[in-house]
Every structure is written in C-alpha cells, then in structure tokens.
Chains A and B, each alone.
Chain A
Amino acid sequence: MSSVTIDTPSVVAARSAAPTRSGFGSWFTDTAVLVKRNILHIIRTPELLLDVTIQPIMFVLLFRFVFGGAIAIQGTSYVNFLMAGIFVQTIAFAMLWSGVLLANDLQKGLIDRFRSLPMKSWTVLAARTTTDLFRSMLAITIMIAVGLAVGFRPDATLVGWAGAIGILLLFGFALAWIGITLGMTVRTPEAATGAIFIFVFPLTFASSAFVPTETMPSWLATFTEHQPITLVINTVRAWMLGRPAGGDAWAALFWSVGILVVFFPLALIMYRKRTTD
C-alpha cells in the first residue's frame, strides 16, 4: 500500500496537546515563535537593520563633527549633550517603524494563516514590538560604542545607566503602538513611512535633542520644553551624565505609560479592523 496514514505519534501528540496548552504559557511560546521568525527575516534581509545601524552612526558623526564646533554647551561637551538626543531619535524611528513592518506583513496571505491558527490576534503585534525592542537594543549598543569613539564621556552610575536605557526602551515600546496604529490606518506601507517622517522629524528637531532650547523663540521653546521627546531626552541625558533628572523623569514616565494606555488598545482595534472583513 502506498497510502499514508495521518495518525503518526506526533499527530496524536498534537491532538492531545491542543486543548491543554493555553493561557499565558502558550501566549509566551507563540510570541517567541513569531519573534524567531522576525529575526530570521532580519538575518535574511540585513538592510532591515540600516535604520538601527548606519543611520545612527551617521547622525552621531555628522552632528559631532559638523555642529559640534559651532554649538557650545554649558558645563559639558557637545558630544556629551548630543548623545541622548541621538539615542531618543533613533529609538523613536526604529520603534515607529514597527507599524511599517507590520503593514508589510499584512499584504501577504500569511496573516490569514496566522488568523486561522489558535493564537491570540495580538500575538503578532507583541512579536513585532518585541523584535523591534531587540533592534533598539542593538542600536543603543552601536551608538554607545560610536559615541565613546568620538569623545562621549558618560558619567553614569550603574543605576543611572539602567534608568536611562530603561526609559529609552519604555518610551520606544510605547511609540511602537503609535506606529502600529498609524501603519494599520494608512493604506500602504509607503504611506506609513511618510507619516512617520512627518511625525518624527519636527518632534525631534523641535526638542532638546541637538541644541539647548533656550535659544529658540519663546513660543517654540514653550512647546519644546513640554513635549515628550524633550522630556525623555532630558531624563536620559541627565542620568547618563550622572545628574538628577528631577521632574523630567516623572514626566517622561508619565508620557510613556500614557501613550501605552491610549495606543495599545487603539493599535489592537485598528489591527483587528484591518485584518477582519
């Protein structure tokens, strides 16, 4: 007989496993499986890492050497001042990018397959944002190395480092859900890319990322000093340079959590809307 029976031992295992494994454990496994998939994508299309490798290196070098001589910062060197700005800008781009990468995924039939599987719909989103957190960590590592090479001399305690990187990643994680909401709202990944640029450029330049806010016209300075990107940058900057961050740290934390609270459910709703018909 050439016919093949379907009930092999692993199949029997599959059938008996299906109903028992549910809840947090299986959600965690599902997410890990999809993160692994995303990482394989990165390995096979390394250009997906340009925004967290070449781009931040470019920014560090350009700002350090082009503007560094012209901008004087009280109490520290320009590169010490600059690094926090580059960190936040890079993480903001990288995490908002989540939405584009997800939108790209949605154009393929694979998402139907995922939806027909016994996993929670937001597992795909969790895997996407987790992968982008890994990308962000890579970016932070690279930026620290490049910064140190061009004169960045942080003066942070271990707690300061942990706090600075922690708030960077938390803020980035929150932004990822804005990115996903955006990516699910506009029709094409290209449009999402455009929207991200329109969103991030003004916010990072009208911030304390590259220059002190004191030289800006007062109307702009008022906006700049209170917008979340500045607050996060100030916090990261203070902690990396071994200074107290004061109220900015609380404000940065407040913004990060606030964005998460609003955009996590919104992203989920938009994703469901986009993938259901």
Chain B
Amino acid sequence: MPPLVVLADQIEKSFGTTHALRGVSIAVPEGEILGVLGPNGAGKTTLVRILSTLTKPDAGRAEVAGFDVLHHPHEVRSRIGLTGQYAALDELLTGRENLEMIGRLYRLSKADAKRRTSELLERFRLTDAATRIVKTYSGGMRRRLDLAASTSAAPPVLFLDEPTTGLPPRSRLAMWALIEELVAGGTTLLLTTQYLEEADQLADNIAVIDQGQVIARGTAAELKRQVGGERIELTLPAGSDLAAAARILIAQGGHEPQIDQEHWQVTAPIDATPGLTTTIAAELHAIGIQLDAAALLRPTLDDVFLTLTGHVATSEDESTPEAA
C-alpha cells in the first residue's frame, strides 16, 4: 500500500455559529485522486484551505506530504500546489510574468523559472497569450494559467478547489484533459467539485460531503452500487401488452419490472450482458410487440447524491459567479 500523502483526521471548523466541518476524515494514498463531491456550502473549500495551511482547524489533525499542517506549514507549502475556486493571478502581469513570479517564489532559480515557464505555457496552450496581461484572458485561460502556476514547482501534492466551476462545457473538457495529463505524472490530487460528472471522470475515489460531514465514500462504481445497478427501460407503442413485455424481462433476469401505463414503458433492474437488448427485442418481436426504444440506464452520481442526502445536489449551475 502506498503511503498516505494527504490525511485529515476528524477535522472540525466553525465560523461563528456556522459549522463548516463537523469531523471530516479523509485519506489519499500517494499518486491517487480523491474527489470531494458536494453541493455549495458543504465545506469543501474549508477542507482544502485547511489542508493547504490557509485556515487553521478548530479540532482534528491534518498531514500533507508527511508534515502536520499546523506545526510545519512551511514544509507543507513547499510541497503543495493550490488552485483555488477563484483564479489567484495577478491581473496586471502577463501570463509569462505570473508564472515566472510564482516559480521564483517556489524558490526556482531565475534560469529554471524561465525554462519552467516556457514549458508550462506550452503545455497549457498559453504560449500565444504569454505576453498579454491576464486582465484580457478568458475564464478558461485564467483557469489554465492558474493551474499552470500551481504546478510551477511540480509539487507532489495538488489541491484543486472546483477547478471548472463557471466554465463553459468546452473549457471544462479542456481542463479535464489537462488535469488527467498532470496526474499521469504521479501527482497526488485532491479535487473538490460540485459536478458529479467531474468526480466520476477524474477521481479514483470519491468522498461525498454534505453539511460538513462525509456521508459516503468509495469508488464511483461502489457509490453507484449503493443505489442499485443498471436498469433497462423499454418503451413500447401505445396499446402494447405491457404485462407480456414484463414477463420477457423477468425471463431475461430482470427483477420486479415496473409498468408505466402512462408512458407505455416497462423498467426493471437487470444485469446487462452483451446483446441483451437485441435478445429482448427479438423475443418481443416473436410475440408481435414492436419495440420503440430500449435503454440501459446506469445510475448517475446525481442518483447517488439524492439517495444519500434525500435532496438534490444543487449543482450544474452555469451561472455560478466567476471570480470578481
């Protein structure tokens, strides 16, 4: 088992009467990606700020790269990269100047900072914009530059706090590709997100956090299993014999089919095997029933969240304000 690089043990933090974190424990082994998933206000940012030494916990213990965040913040800081929710860049400096400055502050020599900056601009596809001041950058470019800045010193641990919140879908996909590239190099990553899809896409393990507590953890697959496996949904022409279709589903391994008279649908949990829908279509055809549509439904993390918390994750909100 690889060593734990990020460790939080029963972290508590309150702001006045607001309990942001109520005993959160997480552990990320070396080289893994933990997705911390939760809606706005769940405590994700507070957790990242504590792990990156920006905020002191009220109780609990946190270690990053083998150092206690309270007692050795300096040691922690030289081993982490942080990309906060709002792009932490100097608006009046150019992209290149920003990266060189951060590189120097990570204690790279002048020559190394220059060399590293050129590499990063290239990798994050910002070479063309390198001499423009950041004020003129688009949201997606800012996020890329911010991420580049965080990786200036190639830190072994990276914290990304909602790296794609507020980005248009295309920029989001570009960020995902960059993040995947980064961690392919062995970086340990803790990523927070309110996008269920994002955690599913990027994270090895997911901790679902709600109102300052971890309410579930596991791989995306494990979490999905908690709300049941796959289901098949058959849509038939109006007037079809739904009961007959249900019997066919049972014969194919479906459990307790649900019949929806209104939409002329039959659904049932089922273990999807290759060719399953083709077989079902053929059997229906044999008893004279046409199939309008057959869909295999995999539970989304949205379903997971709903099952776990009883309320919908108020995410997917494109209007989330960008950094002012």
Which A residues have a C-beta under 8 Å from some C-beta of B?
3-11, 13-15, 17-19, 21, 26, 29-30, 33-34, 36-37, 40-41, 44-45, 108-119, 276-277
Chain B interface mostly:
loop
Task: Specify which chain A residues have a CB less than 8 angstroms from the CB of B53 in the assembled complex.
Answer: 115-116
Tell me whether B153 and A113 are in contact (CB under 8 A): no
B54 at the interface (CB under 8 A from A): yes
A260 to B232, CA, bound (A): 75
Q: A8-B119, A112-B54 are in contact. Are A33 and B105 (CB under 8 A)?
A: yes
Closest chain-A Cβ to B103's Cβ sits at a distance in Å of 8
A117 touches B105 (CB 8 A): yes
- Show 5 A/B contacts (Cβ-Cβ < 8 Å), sorted by A: A34-B101, A37-B93, A109-B86, A111-B88, A113-B149
Binding site for A on B (CB under 8 A): 15, 49, 52-56, 74, 77-80, 82, 84, 86-93, 97, 101-109, 112-113, 115-116, 119, 123, 133, 149, 151-154, 181-182, 184-187, 323
Closest 7 CB pairs of A and B: A6-B185, A113-B88, A118-B78, A11-B154, A109-B88, A10-B116, A109-B86
By a CB distance below 8 angstroms, the chain A residues around B113 are: 10
* Docked CA distance A7–B185 (Å): 8
Q: Is the CB of B78 within 8 A of A18?
A: yes
Interface centre among A7, A37, A118 (most CB of B within 10 A): A118
Whole-angstrom distance between the Cβ of A45 and the nearest chain B Cβ: 7
Query: Once the chains bind, are B97 and A116 in contact (CB under 8 Å)?
Result: no
**Which B residues lie within 8 Å of A6 (CB)?**
151, 154, 182, 185-187
Contacts A109-B86, A116-B80 given: A29-B104 contact, CB under 8 Å? yes
Docked-complex contact B52 and A116, CB < 8 angstroms: yes
Indicate whether A40 sits within 8 Å of B84 (C-beta atoms), given known contacts A14-B107, A109-B323, A118-B107. Answer: no
- Distance between Cα atoms of A40 and B185 in the complex (Å): 34
Q: Given A13-B108, A33-B101, A108-B91, does the pair A116, B116 have CB atoms closer than 8 Å? A: no
The 8 Å CB contact of B105, one of A17, A19, A114, is: A114
A37 touches which of B56, B101, B123, B186 (Cβ 8 Å): B101
Whether the pair A116, B82 counts as a contact (CB closer than 8 A) is yes
Distance in angstroms from A9 CB to nearest chain B CB is 8
Inter-chain contact B89/A110, CB cutoff 8 Å? yes
Q: Which residue of B lies closest to A2 (CB)?
A: B181
On chain B, the residues within 8 Å of A37 by CB distance are 90, 93, 97, 101
* Beta-carbon contact of B84 and A109 below 8 Å: yes
Closest chain B residue to A30 by CB distance? B105
Q: Are A40 and B97 in contact (CB under 8 A)?
A: yes
Assembly CA distance A56 to B151 (angstroms): 45
Cβ of A17 and Cβ of B54 under 8 Å apart? no
Q: Are B154 and A15 in contact (CB under 8 A)?
A: yes
A20 to chain B, nearest CB (A): 9
Q: Is the CB of B106 within 8 A of A18?
A: yes
Rounded to whole Å, the gap between the CB of B127 and the closest CB of chain A is 14
Contact B56 A276 (CB under 8 A): yes
Residues of B within 8 A of A36 (CB): 101
Verify B181–A110 contact, CB threshold 8 A.
Answer: no
Q: Which A residue sits closest to B52, measured CB to CB?
A: A116
Establish whether residues A21 and B107, one from each chain, have CB atoms under 8 Å apart when the complex forms: yes
User: Considering residues B92, B107, B113, which has the most beta carbons from chain A within 10 angstroms of its beta carbon?
Assistant: B107
CB distance from A60 to the nearest CB of B (A): 31
Are B55 and A276 in touch, CB under 8 angstroms?
yes
